[in-house]
A and B are shown apart, each in its own frame.
Chain A
Amino acid sequence: MNTHSIMVKANARAALLIAAIAVSPAAAQGLVAVKNGRVHTKDAVIEDAVVLIDNGRITKIGKQGEFEVPWEAKTVDATGKIVLPTFVLAHSQGGVRMANERMENVAFLTIADALDPASPFFEDCLRSGVGTVHAIPGNATLLGGAGIVVRPFGRTVPDMAVSTQTGLKLSLLPQGGGRLLQIRKLRRALDDAREYLADFDRRKAEFEKEQKAAAIDKDKKWTEEFDKTKKPVIDLVQKKTRGWLYVPGSAEVPEAMRLQQELDLVLVLGPQVHRAIEALKGVKNPVVLEETIEFFETDPETKKETKIRLAKLLADAGIPFALSLGAAAPSSYAWWQLASCVRQGVDKKIALSALTEVPAKLLSLDDQIGTLEVGKLANLQVLTGDPMQATSWVETVVLEGQVVYERSKDERLKYLLDAAAKPADASTSGSK
Chain B
Amino acid sequence: MLRPVLTLISAFALSLQLTAQDVPVVWRGARVLTGVSTIDDAVLVASGGRIETIGGPATAVPAGSRIVEARGMVITPGLIDAAWNGGGALGLADQNEQSTEITPSLRVLDSLDPQDKAIARLRNQGVTTVHVMPGTRSVIGGLSAVLQTWGKDQDAMVLSSEAALRMTLGAEPSMGNRAIRGGTVDSVYYRRPTTRMGVIWSARRAFYDAKEALDESQSEARVARTAHERRDLEVLTRVLKGTLPMVTTARSEQDLRTALRLGAEFGYKPIVDEAQDAHAVATELLQAGVWVMVGAPSSTSVGGSGGQDGAEPRHATLLRLAAAGVPFVITTGTNPNALELVREAMFAHRFGLTHEQALAAVTAQPAKLLGLGDRKGTLKVGMDADFVLWSADPFDPASTPTSVVIGGVDTTSLQ
Contacts and interface: CB of A to CB of B under 8 A. Distances in A.
Contact of A343 (B339, B346, B395, B399): B399
A215 interface: no
Interface in A330-353: 330, 335-336, 339-340, 342-343
Contact of A342 (B314, B352, B395, B398): B398
Interface in B31-47: none
Contact of A421 (B253, B301, B316): B316
Contacts of B320: 419, 423
A424 interface: yes
A391 B350 contact: yes
Contacts of A389: 396-397
Given A330-B339, A423-B283, A432-B261, A415 B314 contact: yes
A340 B314 contact: no
A150 interface: no
Interface string B240-272: 000000000000010001000100000000000
Contacts of A335: 397
Contacts of B347: 329-330, 390
A418 interface: yes
B319 A330 contact: no
B400 interface: yes
Contact of A417 (B261, B283, B316, B400): B316
B315 A423 contact: no
B280 A419 contact: no
B257 A432 contact: yes
Contacts of B395: 390-391
B281 A343 contact: no
B279 interface: yes
Interface in B263-307: 279-284, 298-301
A328 B337 CA distance: 8
Contacts of B396: 339, 389-390
A298 B347 CA distance: 28
Contacts of A330: 298, 339, 343, 347, 397
Contact of B315 (A296, A391, A417, A425): A417
A85 to B, nearest CB: 21
Contacts of B315: 416-417
A416 B316 contact: yes
B300 to A, nearest CB: 8
Contacts of A417: 314-316, 319, 351-352
Nearest to B314: A416
Nearest to B313: A416
Given A388-B397, A391-B349, A423-B279, A305 B121 contact: yes
Contact of A419 (B283, B300, B319, B337): B319
Contacts of A328: 299, 301, 337
B323 interface: yes
Interface residues of B, number: 38
Contacts of B316: 416-419, 421
Contacts of B261: 432
B280 A390 contact: no
Nearest to A342: B398
A263 B137 CA distance: 53
Given A336-B397, A432-B261, A419 B298 contact: no
Nearest to B120: A305
Contact of B279 (A329, A339, A424): A424
A342 B257 CA distance: 44
B66 interface: no
Interface of A: 296, 298, 303, 305, 328-330, 335-336, 339-340, 342-343, 388-391, 415-421, 423-425, 429, 432
Given A420-B323, A429-B283, A432-B257, 20 more contacts: A305-B117, A329-B337, A329-B347, A330-B397, A340-B397, A388-B398, A390-B349, A390-B350, A390-B397, A391-B350, A391-B395, A415-B314, A417-B314, A418-B316, A419-B316, A419-B320, A421-B316, A423-B320, A424-B312, A425-B280
30 contacts: A296-B121, A305-B121, A328-B301, A329-B300, A330-B339, A330-B347, A335-B397, A339-B396, A339-B397, A339-B398, A343-B397, A343-B398, A389-B396, A390-B347, A390-B350, A390-B396, A391-B350, A415-B314, A416-B314, A416-B315, A416-B316, A417-B314, A417-B352, A419-B316, A419-B320, A421-B316, A423-B279, A424-B253, A425-B281, A432-B257
